Amino acid sequence: MDGECKHLLPADQCAYCKPPPAGVLPRGWRTTGGSAYHNDDRCEWLRKGQEHVRRRGGETGAVVPVRWADLGPEKLQPCGHCCSERWLRVRGKANPPGKPCLVRDYGQWVPGTLTWEKHPRADGSWWASVRFARSGEVVTEERSQRDLRPRPA
């Protein structure tokens, strides 16, 4: 539903273009020899992993910045410590649930967020749960694709 990516696949199905999993920031950290993606370069588990390598007589890799979108499928696994929604919430880095969008409400386009249903309905139309402000109150409603647009960057 999100359109086609540069790899000519639906953007939400392309391993390179789909958004990071829940709890994972788009930009993070890894070690050159490691197998985990970290939200924080000071992650306790990252440091413990490096200490474990040193104790075994190995050389630790440098901690380098990385973008989730630049990683191929199955290259790194999100860290079980710093790549969680709870970790993001505690540090004030959590994004509100849903994808940014514009919602048509009484003839006006207003900013909101949406979460698409898993499958189209019987008539082939897509529906989403949307959150947006109406008269100062946050409302959540179900809307069809006809009432939704991408939010301009």
In terms of Cα–Cα distance, which of 142, 143, 126, 131 is closest to 12? 126
Q: How many domains does the chain have?
A: 2
How far apart are the C-alpha atoms of 113 and 34, rounded to whole Å?
35
Q: What is the CATH number of the domain that holds 125?
A: 2.30.30
> CA–CA separation, 143 vs 109, rounded Å?
13
Other CB atoms within 10 Å distance of the CB of residue 118: 5
Residue-wise pLDDT tens digits, 125-143:
999 999 888 887 888 899 9
Cβ atoms of 68 and 26 closer than 8 Å: yes
**pLDDT band at 108, cuts 50/70/90?**
very high
* Mean pLDDT over the full length of the chain: 86
Residues 54-78 have a mean pLDDT of 87
* Claim to verify: residue 90 and residue 106 sit in the same structural domain: no
9 and 83 co-located in one domain: yes
The per-residue pLDDT for range 23-43, each reduced to its tens digit, is: 888 889 999 888 999 999 999
Range of the domain at 27: 1-94
